[in-house]
C-alpha cells in the first residue's frame, strides 16, 4: 500500500513562505495532479515528497512511515523531470539500467528488465543510441522507462510533457494514462496545463500561492469550482466571468439579466461556461451585446459578444456565421449551471 | 572599385604588424634552425648545416634532461591542477555565506606575476628565515632546516607547487563554468536512482565535464610546457639541472651560450610539441561537439 500523506507540511526559503502549512493524502494507486500557475508551489511540494527539498516543518509519510529524514534513494520513488534529466553520456540502455545497477540487480536480470521496459514504451530499437540522438518524445519515453524499470511505489512527474509539441503531448498523455492503468502505481503529477490535469487525474489539487484551494475529481472541479480562481483556471475556453450585482433575484450587468437565487448584493461575479450558453435571435435573451469575435475551432465556433464591461463567449455550431458588430444574444441552456462568486474574496456564493 | 579595395587597405596595418612581430621572427627562427650561428663570433647567421642542429639535439644529454624535466613537470602540474581545481569547484558551486568572498580571494594567486611568485616562494622556502620552511619545521620537526631548494626532488616539488598555486584558481573558475552548464536534473535523477555522492561525482558529473576538463588539460599543458619565469626566479634551473625546463634550457643555449642556430632548432622542437598537442586537442574537441550535437 503506497499511500502518501503530507501532514502540516510547510516550506520557507528564508523569510519567503513558498508552501504554507497544509495537509494532503494521496491514496494508494491514485493519479493525483497538482495543478496551478507558475510559482504556485506545486513543484516545491513534489520536490519535498522526492526528498530533493527539505521541509521546514510537518511530516511526510509514505506507506505510513515518516520519511522526512530519508534520502531520496530510500523513499522508493521514481521521478520524471521536465527536462527529462537523462544522463547524456550514457546510451538509452545504460540510462534505463542505471537505477537497477545502483541497486545491485544482477546483470542478466538487468538485461531482461531493460528490454521489457523498453518494449513497453516502444524504445526497443533505440537502446544503443545516446539521448542527443533522440527526439523530444523519445527522450521523454527514456525518462519514463528509467522511472518504471524498477517498479517503485510512487511516481513523481514534474511537468513531463511541457517540452513536447502539442500533438506529441496528446499522444504521450494517452500513453501515460495507459501506463498508470497498467501499473497501478501511486502517481503525483505536476502541471500548469489544466487539460492535462483534467484528462489524467483521478483527483486534482488546484494550488494557488502555495495553498491547495480545491482538491477533488476533475469532474467535480469543473462542475463546481470552489472559488473564482479555480473557476477561471479550469476549462478551455475558460468560464465566462461577468462582474455585476444582484437585485430582486436578478443578476444584472451591462447587457445581462439572469434570474438567480441570491439576496441583493453588490460586487458579484456570475460564472457560466461557454458550452452552456446558446446563441439565440431573441432580443430579450439573458445576455445581449454586439458580436466581437468569431473563432472557428473545427468542431465548433467560439462566439464572443461584448456590451460595456461585459464580455461573454459561447460555443456555437461550426457553421455559425454572423457579421462582426452585429447584435448578438446568448441565453443559458436548460439545466445550465450558474456560478456566483464574491468579487472581493473570490468565495463561492452559490 | 575603390569601395571594394578599401577593406584590404584597412587590413594592411594589422597585417604588417603581425608579419613583423610574428610571421617574420617565426620564419627567421625556422631558417636559422638549419644554420650554424655563434652570436659571439658573427652578427649574421652562418652556413647552412641541414638538420645537424636537430640531430645533435637528439643525442645531447642536456637537452634530453630538459625534455625529461619538462615532461615530469608538465604531468605533475597538469594532473594536480586539474584535480584540485575540480575539487575546489565542486566545493564552491553551492552558494553559502562565504561564497562571493571565497571567489574573490580565489582569483588573487592568478592575478600575481609568475616571476614574483617564484621570488616569493624562494623567500618562503629559505631554510633560515622562510615562513613556509619554518612553519613546516614547526609542524614536522623532522623537516626542520631542510634545504628545500637545494634538493633536486624537493626543488621540483616546490616548482610544481608554485605553478599549481598560480593556475588552480583560473582552472577552478573554468570548472565552475562547466558545472553550471550541467543540468541539475541529471544529478537529482541520480540521487533518486540511488547513487551515492561519490558516485554522482564520478559517474554523472565528471563524464559531463569531459569537454571542459579536456580544454583545461590542454591549456594547462601548453602553459606548463612554456614554464620559464618561476624557474628563473625560484630555482635557476637547479640544483644542478634538476629543474631546467625546456624553455629555460633554450634560453640558456640562445642567450647565455649564444648558439642561436641550435637554440632555434630547440625552440622549433618545443613548438612542434605544442602544435601536436593543439591539433590533437582540436580534433578531440570536434569529435566531442559532434557527439553532443548528433
Q: Examine residue B113 and say whether the peptide bond preceding it is cis (omega within 30 degrees of 0).
A: no
Q: Residue ranges of chain B with pLDDT lower than 70?
A: 1-2, 289-294
How far is the C-alpha of B100 from the C-alpha of A320, rounded, in Å?
64
Give the residue from chain A lying closest to B189, CA to CA.
Answer: A85
Instruction: Please identify, in words, the CATH class of the domain defined by B54-293.
Output: mainly alpha
How far is the C-alpha of B248 from the C-alpha of B229, rounded, in Å?
9
What's residue B15's pLDDT? 94
Bridge-based pairing state of the strands A77-80 and A154-158 = parallel
CB-nearest partner of A87 from B194, B204, B292 = B204
Q: Do B188 and A73 touch (CB under 8 A)?
A: no
Say if A133 is an interface residue toward chain B (CB within 8 Å). Answer: yes
Question: Do residues B89 and B179 touch, judged by C-beta distance below 8 A?
Answer: yes
Question: Do residues A19 and A10 touch, judged by C-beta distance below 8 A?
Answer: yes
Residues of chain A with C-beta less than 8 angstroms from the C-beta of B94:
none
Which residue of A85, A128, A140, A157 to mutate against B (max B Cβ within 10 Å)? A85
What's residue A1's pLDDT? 54
Residues of chain B with C-beta less than 8 angstroms from the C-beta of A71:
191
Q: Residue ranges of chain A with pLDDT lower than 50?
A: none
What's residue A295's pLDDT? 94
How far is the C-alpha of B5 from the C-alpha of A318, rounded, in Å?
65
What's residue A350's pLDDT? 77
Q: Examine residue B198 and say whether the peptide bond preceding it is cis (omega within 30 degrees of 0).
A: no
- Averaged confidence pLDDT in chain A: 91
Which residue of A70, A94, A96, A98 to mutate against B (max B Cβ within 10 Å)? A98
What's residue B39's pLDDT? 83
Superfamily holding A4-232: P-loop containing nucleotide triphosphate hydrolases (3.40.50.300)
pLDDT one-digit tens code per residue, A116-172: 899 888 888 889 999 999 988 899 889 989 998 988 999 999 998 888 888 888 888
pLDDT one-digit tens code per residue, B83-127: 999 999 998 887 777 777 888 888 888 889 999 999 999 999 998
What's residue B289's pLDDT? 67
Say if B214 is an interface residue toward chain A (CB within 8 Å). Answer: no
What's residue B290's pLDDT? 64
How far is the C-alpha of B275 from the C-alpha of B273, rounded, in Å?
5
Residues of chain A with C-beta less than 8 angstroms from the C-beta of B186:
85-88
Bridge-based pairing state of the strands A77-80 and A4-13 = unpaired
Residue intervals of chain A classified under CATH 3.40.50.300 are: 4-232
What's residue B271's pLDDT? 92
Q: Which fold has domain A240-342?
A: OB fold (Dihydrolipoamide Acetyltransferase, E2P) (2.40.50)
Q: Is the ipTM of this complex over 0.90?
A: no
**Helix residue ranges per DSSP H, B203-259:** 206-208, 210-225, 229-230, 246-255
With a threshold of 0.90, does the pTM exceed it? Answer: no
What's residue B294's pLDDT? 44
Q: Within chain A, what is the greatest distance between any pair of CA atoms?
A: 77
Amino acid at each position: 500500500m503506497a499511500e502518501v500523506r503530507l501532514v502540516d507540511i510547510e516550506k520557507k526559503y528564508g523569510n519567503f513562505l513558498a508552501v504554507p502549512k497544509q495537509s494532503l493524502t494521496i491514496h494508494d494507486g491514485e493519479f493525483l495532479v497538482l495543478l496551478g500557475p507558475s510559482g504556485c508551489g506545486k513543484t516545491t511540494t513534489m520536490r519535498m515528497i522526492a526528498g530533493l527539498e527539505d521541509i521546514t516543518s510537518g511530516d511526510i509519510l509514505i506507506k505510513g512511515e515518516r520519511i522526512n529524514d530519508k534520502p531520496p534513494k530510500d523513499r522508493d520513488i521514481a521521478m520524471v523531470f521536465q527536462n527529462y534529466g537523462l544522463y547524456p553520456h550514457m546510451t538509452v540502455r545504460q540510462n534505463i539500467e542505471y537505477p537497477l545497477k545502483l541497486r545491485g540487480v544482477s546483470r542478466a536480470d538487468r538485461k531482461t528488465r531493460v528490454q521489457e521496459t523498453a518494449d513497453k514504451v516502444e524504445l526497443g530499437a533505440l537502446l544503443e543510441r545516446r539521448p542527443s540522438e533522440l527526439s523530444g518524445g523519445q527522450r521523454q519515453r527514456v525518462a519514463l522507462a528509467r522511472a518504471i524499470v524498477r517498479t517503485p511505489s510512487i511516481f513523481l512527474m514534474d511537468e513531463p510533457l511541457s517540452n513536447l509539441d502539442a500533438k506529441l503531448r496528446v499522444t504521450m498523455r494517452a500513453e501515460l494514462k495507459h501506463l498508470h492503468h497498467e501499473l497501478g502505481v501511486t502517481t503525483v503529477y505536476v502541471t500548469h496545463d489544466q487539460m492535462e490535469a483534467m484528462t489524467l487525474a483521478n483527483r486534482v489539487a488546484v494550488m494557488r500561492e502555495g495553498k491547495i484551494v480545491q482538491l477533488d475529481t476533475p469532474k467535480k472541479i469543473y462542475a463546481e469550482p470552489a472559488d473564482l480562481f479555480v473557476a477561471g483556471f479550469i476549462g478551455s475556453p475558460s468560464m465566462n466571468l461577468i462582474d455585476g450585482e444582484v437585485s430582486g433575484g436578478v443578476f444584472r450587468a451591462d447587457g445581462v439579466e439572469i434570474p438567480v437565487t441570491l439576496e441583493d448584493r453588490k460586487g458579484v461575479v456570475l460564472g457560466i461556461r461557454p458550452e452552456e450558453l446558446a446563441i439565440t435571435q431573441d432580443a430579450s435573451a439573458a445576455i445581449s451585446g454586439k458580436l466581437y469575435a468569431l473563432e472557428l475551432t473545427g468542431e465548433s465556433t467560439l462566439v464572443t459578444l461584448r456590451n460595456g464591461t461585459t464580455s461573454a463567449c459561447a460555443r456555437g455550431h461550426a457553421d455559425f456565421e454572423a457579421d462582426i458588430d452585429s447584435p448578438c444574444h446568448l441565453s443559458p441552456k436548460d439545466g445550465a449551471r450558474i456560478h456566483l462568486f464574491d468579487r472581493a474574496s473570490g468565495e463561492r456564493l452559490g | 572599385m575603390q569601395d571594394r579595395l578599401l577593406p584590404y587597405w584597412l587590413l594592411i596595418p594589422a597585417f604588417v604588424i603581425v608579419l613583423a612581430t610574428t610571421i617574420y621572427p617565426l620564419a627567421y627562427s625556422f631558417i636559422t634552425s638549419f644554420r650554424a650561428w655563434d652570436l659571439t663570433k658573427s652578427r649574421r647567421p652562418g652556413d647552412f648545416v641541414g638538420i645537424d642542429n636537430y640531430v645533435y639535439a637528439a643525442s645531447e644529454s642536456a637537452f634530453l634532461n630538459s625534455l625529461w624535466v619538462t615532461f615530469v613537470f608538465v604531468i605533475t602540474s597538469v594532473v594536480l591542477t586539474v584535480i584540485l581545481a575540480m575539487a575546489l569547484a565542486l566545493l564552491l558551486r553551492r552558494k553559502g555565506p562565504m561564497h562571493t568572498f571565497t571567489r574573490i580571494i580565489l582569483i588573487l594567486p592568478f592575478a600575481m606575476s609568475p616571476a614574483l611568485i617564484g621570488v616569493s616562494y624562494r623567500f618562503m622556502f629559505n631554510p633560515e628565515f622562510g615562513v613556509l620552511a619554518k612553519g613546516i619545521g614547526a609542524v614536522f620537526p623532522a623537516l626542520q632546516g631542510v634545504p628545500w631548494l637545494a634538493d633536486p626532488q624537493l626543488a621540483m616539488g616546490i616548482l610544481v607547487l608554485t605553478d599549481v598555486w598560480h593556475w588552480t584558481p583560473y582552472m577552478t573558475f573554468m570548472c565552475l563554468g562547466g558545472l553550471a552548464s550541467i543540468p541539475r536534473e541529471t544529478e537529482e535523477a541520480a540521487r533518486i536512482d540511488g547513487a551515492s555522492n561519490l558516485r554522482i561525482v564520478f559517474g554523472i558529473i565528471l563524464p559531463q565535464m569531459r569537454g571542459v576538463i579536456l580544454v583545461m588539460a590542454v591549456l594547462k599543458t601548453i602553459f606548463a610546457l612554456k614554464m620559464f619565469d618561476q624557474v628563473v626566479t625560484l630555482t635557476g634551473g637547479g640544483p644542478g639541472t634538476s629543474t631546467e625546463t625546456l624553455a629555460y634550457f633554450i634560453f640558456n643555449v640562445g642567450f647565455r651560450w649564444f648558439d642561436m642556430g641550435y637554440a632555434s632548432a630547440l625552440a622549433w622542437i618545443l613548438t612542434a610539441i605544442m602544435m601536436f598537442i593543439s591539433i590533437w586537442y582540436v580534433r578531440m574537441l570536434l569529435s566531442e561537439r559532434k557527439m553532443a550535437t548528433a
